[in-house]
Chains A and B, each alone.
Chain A
Amino acid sequence: MMRYAILLMGAPYSSQAAHSALRFARAVAARGHRLEGVFFYHDGVHNAARLAAPPQDEPHLVDGWAALAADHGVPLQVCIAAALRRGLLDEREAARHGKQGHSVEPPFELTGLGQLVDLGLRCDRLVTFGP
């Protein structure tokens, strides 16, 4: 058993990166490894959009990540600086910025870049999926 982390920098449905990352994440978990976190950075933060409503015959990536978190306890960490400037705010940040509604909800969590550094230090493998 090894400790894995995934860095995802591609937006859903823009490139294949999110599909590849989710497929890899499931395989890592199925293999019995411990997936310590998925870090969403750059355009990858769009994977945390709680209002995403893709056609029903297409893979629902946001739900896919949430299922990964529910099934395997994988933290879904979203870079707060990348998220806020793209309109991805949880309830707390929406209130803080005076915005109506919010676009990020658990199991996704807004967090700092330090968490990515921490994942890189703690984990045996960090695999990056770029756009």
Chain B
Amino acid sequence: MLLHILNRSPATSEVFRQALAAMGPDDRLLLIEDGVQGAVGALFGRFSGLEGRLYAQEEDLVARGLAPLCAPSVVRVDVEGFVTLTEEAQKTVSWF
């Protein structure tokens, strides 16, 4: 299982498509920085099918005022949770 890390908003970058195409069936996706916009509203639809495997960095949601809008199925993790995700994955892949 790999942890994919995405720091770009689906609204401004198409790199999320490459991340999704590269993901295996058990891989996880963590949204960080502007990537957390993908956990909110219509942009969340870009990641349909990842329920239970889609994570968002809590601090980055809060910094952008998006925490109250985060889709319920997105797993919110603080930076300690980020570290835990890297522990559980064999490797990490960063998309930017």
- Interface residues in chain A, defined as those with a beta carbon under 8 Å from any beta carbon in chain B: 2, 4, 15-17, 20, 23-24, 26-28, 30-31, 33, 125-131
Contact = CB atoms under 8 A, between A and B. Distances in A.
- Which interface class (under 10, 10 to 19, 20 to 34, 35 or more) fits B? 10 to 19
A27 B92 contact: no
A125 B94 contact: no
A125 B92 contact: yes
Contacts of B5: 127-128
A113 B82 CA distance: 27
B32 A20 contact: yes
B26 interface: no
Give chain A's interface secondary structure class: mixed
B79 A127 contact: no
A130 B82 contact: no
Contact of A126 (B33, B34, B92): B92
A20 B92 contact: no
Given A16-B33, A23-B59, A131 B91 contact: no
B83 A20 contact: no
Contact of B80 (A16, A27, A126): A27
Given A16-B33, A17-B7, A24 B79 contact: yes
Nearest to B96: A130
A129 B95 CA distance: 9
- Most chain-B Cβ atoms within 10 A of its Cβ — which of A4, A24, A126? A24
Given A20-B33, A130-B94, 8 more contacts: A2-B87, A16-B34, A17-B33, A20-B7, A20-B32, A27-B83, A33-B83, A128-B94
Given A20-B32, A23-B59, A130 B92 contact: no
A16 B94 CA distance: 14
Nearest to A129: B94
Given A126-B92, A130-B7, A130-B96, A31 B80 contact: yes
A131 B8 CA distance: 10
B83 A16 contact: no
A27 B94 contact: no
A129 B94 CA distance: 7
